[in-house]
Amino acid sequence: QLPSANAGALMMLLEEKLRDSSGPELLLDILQKPSGDSVTLSESTAIISHGTTGLVTWDAALYLAEWAMQNPAAFAHRTVLELGSGAGLTGLAICKTCRPSAYIFSDCHSCVLEQLRGNILLNGLSLEADVTDPSPRVTVAQLDWDVVTAPQLAAFQPDVVIAADVLYCPETVLSLVRVLQRLSACLKNQQAPDAYIAFTVRNPETCQLFTSELGIAGIPWEAVPHHDQKLFPYEEHSEMAILKLTL
């Protein structure tokens, strides 16, 4: 686990640096532990950049990362597929604290993938297989939910599927459910993977659409109990949730 160290002061320092920065990116220590382990991210200073929102870290990614660090057994010695990895904070936190055997980061936007690869290398993880390296096997995949095929998804052979803050409009909800359906179909002869979808409740109708579409697709779900939000400086009055799906 990576406990918080003076999160309020850290946030004020980051805000000052962001205001003073004229460049498109900053290297920010997002997680820090006095004993040495940390996650360092390169992020855009703009919420929307290059036509995507995937170059910054959103609250649900922090929320899922914090839950994962409190529940490492859900990921230990398992292959994890993350849909819509964005800047990579959730996956990097899981790789460093939960001991997965393999982790697949994925996204569709070229700029996001380029930044994501940089963040992975920035944190000392290798994108090449090394049998002597005790770290998880890490790969980055370009994955467009609207065109990816069932055989392509089956090749990942995930034990766990996760996604954070990807329910921001009806179109992405429908695309995500279609991907989950394809995963269910192509893995029907294997043990069903768990899926954890974290999101910020911005529009209740969008969240209701997601659960309704899961029901239509025959994908059972349950709400994960809320956990303490101690590690990160979240936005005020931000309501978040995690659903556990059985594919």
pLDDT tens digits along 208-245 = 999 999 999 999 999 999 998 888 888 877 899 999 99
State residue 168's pLDDT score. Answer: 85
State residue 161's pLDDT score. Answer: 97
State residue 28's pLDDT score. Answer: 43
Report the predicted TM-score, pTM, of the whole model to 2 decimal places: 0.81
Name the band, by pLDDT with cuts 50, 70 and 90, for residue 74. Answer: very high
Name the band, by pLDDT with cuts 50, 70 and 90, for residue 156. Answer: very high
Give the mean model confidence (pLDDT) for residues 175-181: 96
**Statement: residue 33 has pLDDT above 50:** no
* DSSP per-residue letters across the chain: ----SSHHHHHHHHHHHHHH--SSEEEEEEEE-TTS-EEEEEEESSSSBTTBSTTS--HHHHHHHHHHHH-GGGTTTSEEEEES-TT-HHHHHHHHHS--SEEEEEES-HHHHHHHHHHHHHTT--SS--TT--SPEEEEEE--TTT--HHHHHTT--SEEEEES--SSHHHHHHHHHHHHHHHHHTTTSPPPEEEEEEE-S-HHHHHHHHHHHHHHT--EEEPPP----SS-PPTT--EEEEEEE-
